[in-house]
Amino acid sequence: MVGTASARVLLVSAVASGQGKTSVTAALARKLVQRGQQVRVFKCGPDFIDPMLLARASGAPVDSLDLWMVGLAECRSRLAQAAREADVILIEGVMGLYDGTPSSADLAREFKVPVMAVIDASAMAQTAGALVQGLRDYGPVDMAGVIANRIASPGHAAMVAASLRGIPLFGTLGRQDKSLPERHLGLVMPAEQDDIEASINALADGFAFDDAAWDRLAPISFELSHIASPVAPMLEGVTVAIARDAAFAFLYPANLATLSAMGARLTFFSPLADEPVPPGADAVWLPGGYPELHGAVLSQAQSWKQSMAAAHARGVPILAECGGMMVLADSLVDQHGDKWPMAGLLPGQVAMQERLAGLGSQGLDTLHGVLRGHTFHYSQLATSELPASHTLKHPSGAQGEAVYRKGSLTASYFHAYFPSCPQAVAALLTGSSA
């Protein structure tokens, strides 16, 4: 494919988590959509929940960009494809601008994307200028402007603007009467919030937008030749049954797209609704999610449990990630201390705990290359089953999550990013050597 495509592109970042990056990105995306713009949003780093909100705000799927997990070439391809389809590309950063290896700043510099700094101005005024100039100069990065969150008044906004010394105050967002609800893994999923559209619209309505500053942003061009070629049809004719409901919702859109591109037929079922594994399934994928919130319902899902046991007995390949692995243990102890019987394909008990048990980018060495991904969980598995292997933490190379193989089952707390090594995914879902 020849030629270029261009779009206005911004990386929305901050000095740390908790500054309001997601709220600001959602507000800006919805504001631009309301003005008739086609908007694509990306999320830096591994994340499932923020992209759900940003997809609602923008009206388009939200994929990940990460120079390690996704890879440089795939990031470039996704940005070029987005520039073909959209007027505006917003990239929400992860944690603080320079946090992580690689960081949001690394991504911005790699693709020459200007940074929009979100600051929580609720407890500062003129110091905002020092903070933003430090963010700009430390890297350095191209600082397009500032969005001041939790602004108290026009006078407060004027003090912040005067402190910036030439860096544009791109917009402001006032203090919200109602925050987006959160729980232990992040925001409450949009599908669980009856008023999510009203909440997003309220954010957009409260966003004071500087049209002149926006008009000064120059589009960025991307070479269409960088758009990746389709993957080989390694799963042609294979039916993959995927659990998908409120307990199993952590699905990268790119993972589903990769399976489809490999020729797989995707079919979905709900363990929460006690739906059995669909007949004719050649493989089963149980992704992560929030099974700990639904222990009572899952413990009573006899049809689903029996169908999983039958599929395992038949040798159907089963890939269980994080929450998917938790429900295949003998029992699950939830955050309230209640114990629920689970499917029992993996011996042992999973128990929730208050402290984070695993976090960060990891990779799984396979015969086909490194399958990259991440881990993020608050539970621990106590099992007599010995791990078949372990992932490796990035960038340290230290031992990461255990990977269990019991018959046709592969289970781990590791969330795999399928496009990083489609061949390994195909091997896992066909029962061949991975």
Active-site residues, by number, are: 322
Residues whose CB is less than 8 angstroms from the CB of residue 281 and which lie 6 or more positions away in sequence, other chains included:
239, 240, 241, 267, 311, 316
Q: Is residue 191 within 8 Å of 156, Cβ to Cβ?
A: no
Angle at 55 between CA 51 and CA 58, to 5 degrees: 130
Q: Is residue 349 within 8 Å of 333, Cβ to Cβ?
A: yes
- CA-to-CA distance for 273 and 281, rounded, in angstroms? 18
Q: Is residue 139 within 8 Å of 109, Cβ to Cβ?
A: yes
Which residue from 421, 386, 331, 420 is spatially nearest to 69, judged by alpha carbons? 420
Q: In this structure, what token pair is assigned to residue 254?
A: 């790119």
DSSP-derived pairing of the beta strands 329-333 and 186-187: unpaired
Handedness of CA 27, 31, 34, 37 (dihedral sign): negative
Q: In this structure, what token pair is assigned to residue 375?
A: 């881990």
Unique residue bearing structure tokens 């200028």? 129
Which residue from 49, 214, 52 is spatially nearest to 147, judged by alpha carbons? 214
H helices of 164-301, in order, are 196-205, 211-215, 253-261, 295-299
Which residue from 206, 136, 137, 129 is spatially nearest to 161, judged by alpha carbons? 129
Q: At what angle do helices 196-205 and 49-58 cross, to 10 degrees?
A: 70
Q: Is residue 169 within 8 Å of 160, Cβ to Cβ?
A: yes
Q: Is residue 347 within 8 Å of 411, Cβ to Cβ?
A: no
For the sheet with 265-269, list strands across it.
Answer: 265-269, 239-243, 283-286, 318-321, 409-412, 399-406, 389-393, 358-366, 369-377, 415-416
- CA-to-CA distance for 312 and 276, rounded, in angstroms? 13
- CA-to-CA distance for 140 and 104, rounded, in angstroms? 12
For residue 172, list its beta bridge partners.
Answer: 148, 208
